[in-house]
Structure 1
Amino acid sequence: MSTGSADLVVTGGPVHTGIPGERAEGFAVRNGRIVAVGTAGEVDAWCGPGTRRLDLAGRLAVPGLIDGHIHLGIGGTQLALELPLLPTDGPDEVLTKVRDWAGRLEPDEWIVGGILGSGTYAALNSREMLRRLDEASLGHPVLLRDDTMHNRQVNSAALAAMGVDDTTPDPPGGTYARDADGRLTGALWELTSTRAEEAAKSAQRDPHGRLMTALRAALERTRRIGYTSLQDAATMEHHLAALQDLERSGDLPAWIVASMPARDFLEAGAVGEELFAQAPQYRSEQIRPDFVKFVIDGVPTTRTTALLHPYRCHHDSEDSEFRGTPYWSLDELTAGLRRCAELGLGAKIHATGDASVRLALDAAAIVRKDPGPQPIIQIAHMSFIAPEDLPRFAELDVYADACPFLWHPSPLFDAVAHQVPTETMDRIWPFKDLLATGAVVAGGSDWPVGLPELNPWLGIETMVTRGAPEEQGDPRRINPEQAITREQAVAAFTSASARALGIDDRTGALRPGLSADFLVLDRNIFEVPATEIHRTGVDETYFRGECVHSRG
C-alpha cells in the first residue's frame, strides 16, 4: 500500500525488471527513485492529483542499460572531431580520406582519426606506405588509431614532432615498428602510441574545450541508444575535470564509474598514485572514481597478448614457441590489488589472453585470503579462458567484464584468428560455461575499439546468436555452443553490470529504492526474432525519473 502519491506512474505494457524471470505490469516513481513495482492495480494506488502517467501503449519497458567498459573521451572525440575511418577501409581508401581531410585543416593541424581495421593497419606497416601517407597528408602530422586502440600509425611529420628517428630505442612496453634495415615504418605498438598522443595533444589549441565537445557528443549518443550508466575504462584527470563541469551544468545524464590507469597508458597524463590522490576532488553523487585500471597484456593482433599456447607461425623466422609476455608479474599485480583494497577501490584488469587471465585469477586468489576489506575485481575482455580456470571466477568472486561485444564474424575477429592457435580460438568467449559456474558476466562495448558504431542491442543479439547481423551476409557462427538466453544477455547489460561496477545499490534493475533509470523500446526484444534485436530503437530514455531522450 502506498504512503503517498508518486511523481510518475508507468503502466500499459510489459515491464522487464532486469532480473531473469521477473516481469511486472508497471512501476511508480517518486523523487527520482522507484517506490513500487507490481501489478497495474498496485501501481495505480500511487496515483495522486499531481502524478504524471506514462502509458506504454503495449511497448516494453526495461532498465536503463549499463556499459561496463567504454572509452568516452576517445569515442566522443572520434565521433565529433576526428577523421572517420571504417575498419573495412583498405589502404587506398584510407589514403584518399586522409588527403580529403587534410584539405580542410589549418596549417600545422594534426590529422587524427580511426579506426583502422587490423588488416589495413598491418598493410600500412612499410616504408612504401609511409611515403604514400606522407604524400596524402599534404605536410600535416598524421595519427591514426587501429581497431584495438593499442596501436597507432603515424607519418614522418608526426615522428618528427615526437622527436623519434631511426636511432630512437624502444621504450619499455612499446615498439617502434621498423623494416629489415632498421628504418621506421610509422607503425607504433602499445606504449609508443602514448608519445604520439602526447605530441598531438600538445598541438591542440583548446584541449579542455575539445574534450567537453567530445564528451557531450558521446553522452548524447549513449542516452539515445539506451545507456544510463557507464564505466569509463581509462579515466585521466582531465576526463574527471570535464565530467565534473558537465555535471555542474546539468549535462550529465548518467552514472559514471571511472577507472584510473595504474601505470603509463595510451593517453597522456598522471597515472598511478598521483592520479589516485587527485581523484577524490572530483567524486560526486554521479561521478565515482572507484576503480584502478591494470593492463597486464596487449592485443592478439600484434602478438602482445599472453597465451598459454604458442601463436600461429606464418614465417620460418618466427619463434614457434612464442606465447607473449605479460606486462605485470604475479607479485606486482598482487601488490596492486592489495593497494586497491587499502584505498577502497576496485580493480579492472585488462587481460585478453588465457595466460593473462590465469595470472589475474592467481593474483585474486592470493588477495582473497587477506583479512579485511576486499576490492571488487573485474577481468576485462577475457576472450580466452582455459577450461580449468572457468570455475575460478565464481569461486574468487571475480566479475567477467565481457567486452568488446564483437561476438560474431568481423574484420577484428578474423585478424585475431590469424594469430591465435585454433584450439584457443575454438574456446572464444565462453559465456554459457561461465554462467553455469555461477559467475557474473557483465556486458560492455569497449567503444570505439573495433566498432564503427555504438549499438548495445547488437551486443545483446550476438550474445544470443553468436552470428553477424543478417545484412552482413556472413553465415558463420562463432563458438555457437556458448550462446546464452536473451534474459541472460539483457542481465549482462543491466543488473549484472551494476554488480560488477559496485552500483547495484543505486541502479541496474527496476526495483523499489533504486534510481528510476529505464527505457521504453519500440519492440519487445523477448518476442521478436533474435536476428532483429540489433534493430531495436529506444523511444524514450529516463534517468532518475526524468526523460533525457525522446524520439518524439
Structure 2
Amino acid sequence: MIAADLILMADRIHTLAPGPRPTAVAVAGGRIVALGDRADARRWRGPATEVLDLGPATITPGLVDGHAHPVLGIGLTRGVDLSAVRTLPALRAALRNARHHGWIEGWGLDPNAFEGAPLTCAPLIEAVGPEVPVFLRLFDAHSALVSPRALELAGITGRREFRSGASVVCDPAGRPTGHLLEPEAVELVRAVLPPDPPADRRTRLRELMDRMAATGLTGANAMDFEEDSLGLFRALEADGELPLRWRCAPFVMPGADLAEVLARQLLHGRRWRVEGAKFMIDGTVDGGTAWLDEPDTHGESTACFWPDPAEYRAAAGFLARQGVPIVTHAIGDAGIRYVLDTMARLPRLRVPHRIEHLETMPCSLIGRFAELDVTASMQPTHCTHYTRADHTDNWSRRLGKVRADRAFRARDLRDQGARLALGSDWPIAAFDPRGILAAARLRRPAGAAGTEPVLPEQALTARMALEGYTTQAAAAAGLPDAGRIAPGFRADLSVFGLDPLVVDPDEFAESPVPLTVVAGAIVHRS
C-alpha cells in the first residue's frame, strides 16, 4: 500500500457498508485506501502523512444536500431577514427599522404572518408610506410582495400574460395588490432592483460554501444554473478548490431553448458539473399555484405551471433521450401523478430521474417511486418549520384536513422501497444538515421539545435520515463509489462530536463539527 496522505482515527466510524466497524481510515489521492483500527494506522504512514486522532468523535460518509440554490440564493437573501416575523405588527416594525438607500428589500416572509388575511401591499404602505419602493420575497421564493412605488418603477399597472402559470394578483377593479406569483411575475420587479457588484457575489458565494462545509456538508445539488453561475463557479475555482462538490441542474421553463439546456450539460470544473435539467410542474400550496386534483379552500391550485402540460412531457422526453436526467418540482397530488406518468415513459439513465418536494399525495402514488426507479427528494424542515400539527397554518388550511393528513410522507416512501434523498432547499430553509436530520426524526423543529410533531408516523429512523444524506444521495446521483466509507470510494467524510445514530436528535442538532474532508482534503477544521 502507498503511504497515506491523511489518516483519521475516531472511536466510531459509521461506514454504512457491511463488515467490521473500524476506528481508523486512510486516504490517498482523494480516495479511501484502507480501513482498520488505530494499531493498523502505523503501517499506513509515510513521511508526509497527516495523522489526526479525533478521540470520541464520529466519522460518517460525507453529507450531501439533495436540493439547494447557491447562486439563486445569494440573490434571494438580499436585504432584511424576515424569517422570524410572525405578525403584521412585527413586519411593519422590521420595515420601519430597515436601513436602505432607495429600495427596501427583504426575504423569508412567512404568509402565516397575515393570519389568513389577503396578502397585499397595505402593511408596506402603513410601515414606510407609498413612495418607498419595497420588494419582499416570501419564504417559498415563488412569490413576492411589493409596494405601489415598486410596481410603478416596473411599469406594472394591471394583469399580465405569462408563458407559465405566473400572475400579477389584482383586485376586482383590476388594480395590482402588490402580490406577485411565480418567477416570471416576480422577475418584472426584480429586474429593476439595483444589481450586486460581481465581486460581492463572488465573496458571498464563497462564504456560503465555507459555512456549509462547517456544518459537515461535503456536497450539494444546485437546482439552478442561471445568470452568472458559470462565471462564479469558474472564478471561485480559479482561486482554489471549492469546499464542496456541486451537481447543477439548469432550469427549464416553458418556451426554453432545449438546445441551450443540452449544451450546458458539457460544463464542469474540478468539483462542480452540470448534470440534469430542472423543471417545475406546479408552484406552491401557500401561493395557490400548486396542481391539485381538487381546488384548495380558496378555489385555487388547479392548474399546471406549464399552460400545456404536454409541452413539459415533450421537453422532458427530448432531454432524457439525450441522456439528461430529469428533475421536477412537484408539490400537489395532480402534479406528482402527471410527473410520475411522464417518467414512466422516459428512458432509464445511469442517474435516475427525480421528483422534488412531494408535499401531499395519496397512497396510490407512493409505491410508484420504487416501481419506476424515480428518486424522491424531500426537505424535512419544509414540514416542521412551516406547518403545524393542528393544521392552523396557511398551508394546511388551504389544503384542508384530508390532504394535510397525507403530507410529507417520508417514512411511507422509504417503507415502500423508494430512494429518498434529503436536503434543505436553501435559502427556503436553513442548510445545516444537523437540524434537518433531527427534524426528519422528530417531525418538529430541533430544540422545540414543546412543539407537537406533525404526522409523527412519518418520522424516519436515525439510520434512514443519515442515509438520506449519504447512501441514498449517492444512489440518486448515480455514483457507485460514494456515500459509504470503503476502500476505493471517494474520500468525502463528515466528522461530528456526537453520534447521529445514537444521540438524542435535539442534542445532535447542536453537535460540534471538528472536521470536514472533501476528496481527501480538509476543507473545514474547527
TM-score (norm 1): 0.87
**Aligned to 2:125, which of 127, 131, 152?**
131
Q: Is the 8 A contact 1:382 1:402 kept in 2?
A: yes
Partner of 2:445: 468
Q: Matches of 1:183 and 1:542 in 2, distance apart?
A: 54
Deviates more, 1:12-21 or 1:346-355: 12-21
Which runs of structure 2 are paired with 1:189-204 in the superposition (5 Å)?
A: 189-190=181-182, 191-200=184-193, 203-204=194-195
Tell me how far 1:227 sits from its aligned partner: 1.0
Q: Deviations over 1:348-385 (max 9, x none)?
A: 100011111111110011224x8xx5763110001222
Q: Which amino acid aligns with 1:47?
A: R
Q: Matches of 2:19 and 2:493 in 1, distance apart?
A: 18
Q: Matches of 2:195 and 2:227 in 1, distance apart?
A: 17
Q: Matches of 1:229 and 1:281 in 2, distance apart?
A: 20
Q: Is the 8 A contact 1:296 1:350 kept in 2?
A: yes
Partner of 1:149: 141
Q: Is the 8 A contact 1:145 1:152 kept in 2?
A: yes
Q: Matches of 2:121 and 2:73 in 1, distance apart?
A: 30
Partner of 1:514: 489
Tell me how far 1:310 sits from its aligned partner: 3.7
Q: Which amino acid aligns with 2:60?
A: V
**Aligned to 1:69, which of 46, 67, 70?**
67
Q: Which amino acid aligns with 2:453?
A: R
Residues 458 and 101 (structure 1), Cα distance of their counterparts in 2 relative to 1, 3 Å cut: same
Partner of 2:405: 426
Q: 2:220 is paired with a residue of what secondary structure?
A: strand
Q: Matches of 1:172 and 1:283 in 2, distance apart?
A: 30
Q: Is the 8 A contact 2:330 2:358 kept in 1?
A: yes
Q: Which amino acid aligns with 2:396?
A: A
Deviates more, 1:68-77 or 1:219-228: 68-77
Q: Deviations over 1:109-141 (max 9, x none)?
A: x322211012236657236335325528xx442
Q: Matches of 1:23 and 1:11 in 2, distance apart?
A: 12
Residues 91 and 548 (structure 1), Cα distance of their counterparts in 2 relative to 1, 3 Å cut: same
Partner of 1:399: 375
Q: Deviations over 1:304-338 (max 9, x none)?
A: 111234423xxxxx54xx65112245533332222
Q: Which amino acid aligns with 1:397?
A: D
Gaps of 5+ in 1: 265-269, 313-317
Tell me how far 1:466 sits from its aligned partner: 1.6
Q: Which amino acid aligns with 1:125?
A: L
**Aligned to 2:235, which of 236, 240, 245?**
245
Tell me how far 1:148 sits from its aligned partner: 0.9
**Aligned to 1:337, which of 316, 327, 331?**
316
Partner of 1:15: 13
Q: Matches of 1:509 and 1:160 in 2, distance apart?
A: 55
Partner of 2:358: 382
1:255 aligns with 2:245: yes
Q: Matches of 1:127 and 1:47 in 2, distance apart?
A: 65
Residues 44 and 391 (structure 1), Cα distance of their counterparts in 2 relative to 1, 3 Å cut: farther
Q: Which amino acid aligns with 2:212?
A: T
Residues 374 and 457 (structure 1), Cα distance of their counterparts in 2 relative to 1, 3 Å cut: closer
Tell me how far 1:182 sits from its aligned partner: 2.4
Q: Matches of 2:386 and 2:123 in 1, distance apart?
A: 24
Partner of 2:415: 436
Partner of 1:174: 166
Q: Matches of 1:542 and 1:230 in 2, distance apart?
A: 14
Which runs of structure 2 are paired with 1:105-504 in the superposition (5 Å)?
A: 105=101, 108=102, 110-120=103-113, 123=117, 125-126=119-120, 128-135=122-129, 139-166=131-158, 168=160, 172-190=164-182, 191-200=184-193, 203-204=194-195, 206=197, 208-263=198-253, 272-273=257-258, 275-276=260-261, 279=264, 282-312=267-297, 319=299, 324-328=302-306, 329=308, 331-368=310-347, 376-403=352-379, 405-408=381-384, 410=386, 414-449=393-428, 451=429, 453-471=430-448, 473-474=450-451, 476-504=452-480
Residues 515 and 479 (structure 1), Cα distance of their counterparts in 2 relative to 1, 3 Å cut: same
Q: Is the 8 A contact 1:177 1:186 kept in 2?
A: yes
Q: Is the 8 A contact 1:409 1:478 kept in 2?
A: no
Q: Matches of 1:272 and 1:223 in 2, distance apart?
A: 34
Q: 1:284 is paired with a residue of what secondary structure?
A: coil
Q: 1:24 is paired with a residue of what secondary structure?
A: coil
Partner of 1:267: none
Tell me how far 1:45 sits from its aligned partner: 3.0
Gaps of 5+ in 2: none
Q: Which amino acid aligns with 1:193?
A: V
Q: Is the 8 A contact 1:14 1:25 kept in 2?
A: yes
Q: Is the 8 A contact 2:440 2:465 kept in 1?
A: yes
Deviates more, 1:112-121 or 1:170-179: 170-179
Q: Deviations over 1:64-90 (max 9, x none)?
A: 2101101112433455x5221124342
Name the % identity: 28
Aligned-residue RMSD, C-alpha: 2.6
Tell me how far 1:205 sits from its aligned partner: 5.8
TM-score (norm 2): 0.91
Q: Which amino acid aligns with 2:215?
A: I
Partner of 1:315: none
Q: 2:248 is paired with a residue of what secondary structure?
A: strand
Q: 1:335 is paired with a residue of what secondary structure?
A: helix
Partner of 2:518: 543
Q: Matches of 1:30 and 1:395 in 2, distance apart?
A: 39
Partner of 1:27: 25
Q: Is the 8 A contact 1:244 1:287 kept in 2?
A: no
Q: 1:261 is paired with a residue of what secondary structure?
A: coil
Q: Is the 8 A contact 1:330 1:362 kept in 2?
A: no
Q: Is the 8 A contact 2:159 2:167 kept in 1?
A: no
Q: Matches of 1:165 and 1:154 in 2, distance apart?
A: 13
Q: Matches of 2:356 and 2:400 in 1, distance apart?
A: 21
Deviates more, 1:11-20 or 1:542-551: 11-20
Tell me how far 1:411 sits from its aligned partner: 5.4
Residues 519 and 375 (structure 1), Cα distance of their counterparts in 2 relative to 1, 3 Å cut: closer
Tell me how far 1:410 sits from its aligned partner: 3.6
Residues 129 and 323 (structure 1), Cα distance of their counterparts in 2 relative to 1, 3 Å cut: closer
Q: Matches of 2:151 and 2:449 in 1, distance apart?
A: 38
Deviates more, 1:511-520 or 1:36-45: 36-45
Partner of 1:529: 504
Matched pairs, number: 520
Residues 50 and 217 (structure 1), Cα distance of their counterparts in 2 relative to 1, 3 Å cut: closer
Q: Which amino acid aligns with 1:352?
A: I
Tell me how far 1:20 sits from its aligned partner: 8.6
Tell me how far 1:340 sits from its aligned partner: 2.2
**Aligned to 1:88, which of 60, 74, 85?**
85
